[in-house]
Amino acid sequence: MAVLRAVDGGVLLRLRVQPRSRAERLEGVQGEQLRVRLTAPPVDGAANAACLAFLAKTLGVSRSRVQIRTGAKGRDKVLYIADLTPEQVALALGIAEDETG
């Protein structure tokens, strides 16, 4: 699967999360995943909550429109973003079209 994929009603986004970083930021695409650094530790769902909040803010959508589909207990995740196209997500995240797959 590519970094971004259109599905019914939204987009699937593949991520690799690095918790306990100094700052929250996007690291760009590596392979078929977008790398995201988060300050939250991977304890009691804190990193997952921070990931969802950071991406919702970056995309300019409400937190309820971003969900973890797979990978809640690991660093590799697939998120579902409702009501956006892959092009809109790529633009908001600064991903070049050739990197989206």
Q: How confident is the model at residue 98 (pLDDT cuts 50, 70, 90)?
A: low
CA distance 54 to 15: 13
Question: Could you tell me the pTM of the whole model?
Answer: 0.91
Which pLDDT score is estimated for 1? 60
- Beta-carbon-side half-sphere exposure of residue 57 (alpha carbons within 13 Å): 9
Render pLDDT for 15-65 as a digit per residue (tens, 0 to 9). 999 999 999 999 999 999 999 999 999 999 999 999 999 999 999 999 999
Which pLDDT score is estimated for 96? 75
